[in-house]
Structure 1
């Protein structure tokens, strides 16, 4: 049955005038960017012993008492998930599949994998931020700051789950604390590049909505379904020549209203994309 579905998906992609990829955390997990298990315990043993942490996702919400402790954790989190981890093969395979087609990517992932794989930034809308950027914690101004050099210095100089106080980042405008540019509260900074990416996405949809447009959802869960999943369902239902593909291990489904325009396959995304690349080539 999976082979039949994969062949049909390949046919959808080959016949598409435009493709919209919607990517969630499941795509990066399939690439090996896991937030739990051995990858977590191997890298955070000190933090596990001290704070009782269980995985990188829940640890991101830990109420650290000091900024020195918070940034000791976050520098390692950012280093592992943004800088140290190489581009996943599934991302490069995706680029191979859509190269030569009209396509756009909307993603809730903040790990920079699409950019690392070579997707042009004008074709990607990362709605929830980027691990590699810092912002004022209270959003006092709409500018973002690259954190790579600072993160490496925090990694090098931290001791006993703390960084030196002089490395705690402070807002250059208001003097307050800084945060990673992640959408977690009302202070999330949407800078000029974010605005441009949104405009590019909306323009792509507008220009291709009356064509044979295929929405491909990869690894999107129910944490923030309104950003990608519900949008894709709504547009597939509304647009006459739209089709919906959902690939997700154990979570692939579509509502009854669009079932006749949908293909949902419960399979590892890396495996499915690798097979699709062979079928399409």
Structure 2
């Protein structure tokens, strides 16, 4: 996994990488997921062939057919009721249960669009993952949570919801992200959900993978320090906090970190 992330990521699809991480975290029944994916791929190919034959045209509407199959035939949908639940951060569960978050559903939607020959990319939009479809030099922006085709005004409202009323949408906000950026966002989402559920050991594993993607990242090392603190691993927590203080001496969180260092009793260290 380490070698794959560091050297071969461009050769691995976004969905494959997401599933590899879930396999490393011990959250994946690969055989079951692969069987479901194969079945969905077969169904999609048949669905597209039928739609194209009925219209007696080429692939100009393929992207719309994929959306219809994904959201109407398969009934993939966002899970409002358990939005922040860790299970909703699992792409594998999205495949099996056909529910998830904008990010997990977006990863799946990009997969099936690309599989059908459509140019599609994910966007790590503030507060909400989006999918961009490129057809005949025109961009279409999809909310993967519900399949809605978004206008500029709707996307600006989402941006203002995340960044405040003074925020204004710019074209650079809609630039597609690469696999590494999307995987990092997925891992941060997983880590956040695990921390809310007090699953600190699993959150630490997410942090370790993030540090493979960005070795020496002071903010991730600081966050890892907080996880170590929750696990009563005080010596390593102090090391992580001191690393951050050294690398980012002007960060607003420095005062809190120094206070925590003072409060930690090093003699009660427990290594996990």
**Structure (1/2) with the larger helix percentage:** 2
Length-normalised TM-score, structure 2: 0.27
**Structure (1/2) with the larger strand percentage:** 1
